[in-house]
Amino acid sequence: MKKIAILIAITSLFIFAPQEETKAQCKQQRVYKCARQGGNAIYLRDFNTKLRAVRSSRSINGTKWPVVLNRGTRYRFILCTPIKSRNDVKLTLFDSRHPETKPWNSTEKSNTDKFDFICKRSGVYYVSIRFKPGKGRSKTCAVGILSFVGKNQ
């Protein structure tokens, strides 16, 4: 009987204890919500990342992903972050000819959270999600979405 009481107590602790949000990456719900902001665009891929707090102004924090884009295609890139880090995160699109410091395009949560890109040359491009310079005092997560808008003639 004593074992059953202990088992019930432990089980109820897990059931009724406050659930904490996972800190590893943004939850899948944020990815779904962000993907729905694309309008009529077709979801292709998400970029889900965790950003650690920046310790110095020179440290680079964030993640970079390679993507293959096709010539003559219009793509939409969307950035979603938690409300508390809205103005701290930036999504950037660049390639080997246009390094991350001089990208093709980027979006920052302060003004707009998405941009369209018409690919002029097929090849490997890179998407990065990082803190803006001088920002990132606390850790957060961010989601980038790549969507297909259509073919440009």
Residue 58 confidence (pLDDT):
63
Domain boundaries, the chain: 22-151
Give the Cα separation of 61 and 51 in Å (integer): 7
Give the Cα separation of 50 and 61 in Å (integer): 10
- Which pLDDT tens digit goes with each residue over 11-62? 554 555 444 343 445 678 778 788 788 788 899 999 988 888 777 666 667 8
Give the domain 22-151 fold: Jelly Rolls (2.60.120)
For residue 107, pLDDT beyond 70: no
For residue 124, pLDDT beyond 90: yes
What confidence tier does 137 reach under pLDDT thresholds 50, 70, 90?
Answer: confident
Tell me the C-alpha to C-alpha distance, in Å, between residue 64 and each of 5, 25, 49.
51, 15, 9
Q: What is the mean pLDDT of the chain?
A: 77
Residue 111 confidence (pLDDT):
47
String of DSSP letters for 59-76: ---EEEEEEEE-TTEEEE
- Which pLDDT tens digit goes with each residue over 60-78? 678 899 999 999 999 999 9
Instruction: Specify whether the CB–CB gap between 145 and 43 falls below 8 A.
Output: yes
| Selected residue with higher pLDDT from 84 and 7 | 84
Residue 45 confidence (pLDDT):
93
At position 41, the amino acid (one-letter code) is A
Is this prediction's pTM over 0.75? no
% of the chain beyond a pLDDT of 70:
68
